[in-house]
Amino acid sequence: MNYSGILDQIHRDLKPWLGKGRVASYIPELANISAERFGMAIVRTTGEVFRTGEADTRFSIQSISKLFACTLAFQLLGDDLWQRVGREPSGTAFNSLVQLEAEQGKPRNPFINAGALVVTDVLCRRFVKAETALVEFIRRLSGERGIGYDAAVAQSELQHAHRNRAMAHFMASFGNLKMPPDLVVDAYTRQCAISMSSVELARAALFLANRGAVPSTGEQIVDASSAKRLSALMLTCGTYDAAGDFVYRVGLPAKSGVGGGIVAVLPGEMAVCVWSPGLDANGNSLAGTLALEWLTTFTGQSIF
């Protein structure tokens, strides 16, 4: 498969779409990023790397961090994690409080904000600094020691975290948050402010395409069955309230973030990450979704 040629073709064909959509202006630090920027990378389980555009430029991974936080929490608790957070698509916006009242403070899944706060609460109970533990985990997955979080982005998010604070306190009232809500929100905002490139994110997610093991080191992060289950969660819940349409168009398990990144996996073959900051109405990268749709169309590769 000529992945280099396909990525270059996608980059050329996408040019009319770059700059469309809206950046995440509700986070002031992200509002300054041009919507015209673009990078895309494929990392195969064999170690081969293919890239186009700004594939080595770091950006704010935002909700993509939820995938790695969930994996780390699942390492700690196993299936007991699902006693506190569900595994169903939400059908509502990623920052909605609507279902928490009716469902006694148990979020629908770990990839909406409420669910991610519960996951962060798990990490805060186990680690002195949850965000530091998560950064170290991601460094192991990606093999990149220089990965960290952007303090300016974290502070910008924290100053506008009213809805996340409301969710945290509301879940605490149901007993589904064990640590102080403000501590959990602080750790969560720093987690979302982690900066990585498309190449680094694809490498970090590659264990899911390799039966739960990091190909470069052989470290078994989760067993093969758990890798399948985490990928299934990505497929059904990973792209906000557009998961059905995304699966229809792309056909890969994926996790998106409002920083414009989307990471996806093809089991047994590769992980791919695309970055384009212009978002559609659901908070997914507009050009990034199109790029992944074209990738699976041009290669004929998806999980279906």
Q: Is 103 one of the annotated binding-site residues?
A: no
- Which residues pair with residue 39 across a beta bridge? 53, 275
Q: Is 188 one of the annotated binding-site residues?
A: yes
38 in Cβ contact with 295 (< 8 Å): no
Q: Is 269 one of the annotated binding-site residues?
A: no
Q: Is 164 one of the annotated binding-site residues?
A: yes
Q: Is 113 one of the annotated binding-site residues?
A: yes
The helix, strand and coil proportions of the chain, stated in percent and rounded to the nearest 5, come to: 50, 10, 40
Please give the C-alpha separations between residue 28 and each of 80, 98, 159, 172, 287, in angstroms, as whole numbers. 37, 26, 10, 28, 22
Q: How are strands ordered across the β-sheet holding 39-44?
A: 49-53, 39-44, 270-275, 261-266, 254-256
7 in Cβ contact with 50 (< 8 Å): yes
Q: Is 248 one of the annotated binding-site residues?
A: no
Q: Is 258 one of the annotated binding-site residues?
A: yes
Tokens standing for residue 148 = 């960290």
Q: Which residues are annotated as a binding site?
A: 63, 113, 157, 164, 188, 240, 258
Q: Which residues are annotated as a binding site for substrate?
A: 63, 113, 157, 164, 188, 240, 258
